[in-house]
Amino acid sequence: MVQETVEYREMNNVKRNDFMQLLIQLKQKGSLDSEQGAEDRSDEEFSGTGETADGLSMNSLAAQAFVFFLAGFETSSTTMTFCLYELSVNPDIQERLRTEIDMVLEKHDGKLSYEAIQEMSYLDKVVSETLRKYPPISGLMRECSKPYKIPGTDIVLDTRMRVLIPVIGLHHDPKYYPEPHRFDPERFSEEEKQKRHHYVYLPFGEGPRICIGMRFGLMQTKVGLVSLLSKYQFSVSKKTPVPLVFDPKLFILAPAGGMWLQIKKRSME
């Protein structure tokens, strides 16, 4: 699909102000018009990726488009799915969240704005707890840029050694999260967050390599949840798997066989 889109735009000289146009420009020129000094880059900067300073290869272009789609949409949709599942299993939490949503929307004349979302503190806790229990990526891979000795041990991580960080293992460690399989948004109250090390919660990674789309992903997830919960009630059905089973074939954490919930339109009286 990516190749067909690129070929059509190049053949018909179609230019649009979008992400695909940036990738096409990288394919053709090897840099963006706004980049300074791009012409001074050597081919070595692109070694091992299949492209040269002349531009991205079609395979690399397709891979970039795939990653942006996966990171920008799939993670948000699966997070909303898991959140609605937990709210269905825990109707008391769903009702408390809906009460907050109704109050804030009423205050803002029914308009769902950035400011309104920022006022929904319980929504933030619910989403954070969802990401703790169901991190989109169960593990992170990092590479050492220089030798590092693990404090309190004789173990030294050499330069270029790869380290796998078990995100889902940290998120389900009872040392940091008592009763880790219980869905409890209050784990993310300011008081409770102060009791834990910052790096035991890594749904988006951390440090300089933190997910570049974190804020967008969170906002997209929250807007989706508010839009749904303000209009519908969710509950378990006969087909709802309790407990959930994850699909082992997928890179993004997702329920096996999809998600089955009962959805009922709210009475707005």
Which residues participate in the annotated binding site? 211
Structure tokens at 166: 């078990």
Structure tokens at 18: 């979008």
- Helix orientation angle between 19-29 and 2-12, rounded to the nearest 10 degrees: 70
Task: Using CB atoms within 10 Å of the CB of residue 134, give its burial: 0 to 12 exposed, 13 to 18 middle, 19+ buried.
Answer: buried
Q: Give the H/E segment covering residue 261.
A: strand 261-265
Instruction: Tell me the backbone φ, ψ of residue 117, rounded to 5 degrees.
Output: -60, -40
Count of residues in the chain: 269
Structure tokens at 88: 């269905």
What count of other Cβ atoms lies within 10 Å of the Cβ of residue 57? 15
Q: Which residues are annotated as a binding site for heme?
A: 211
Structure tokens at 43: 């081919």
Residue 157, SS3 per DSSP: strand
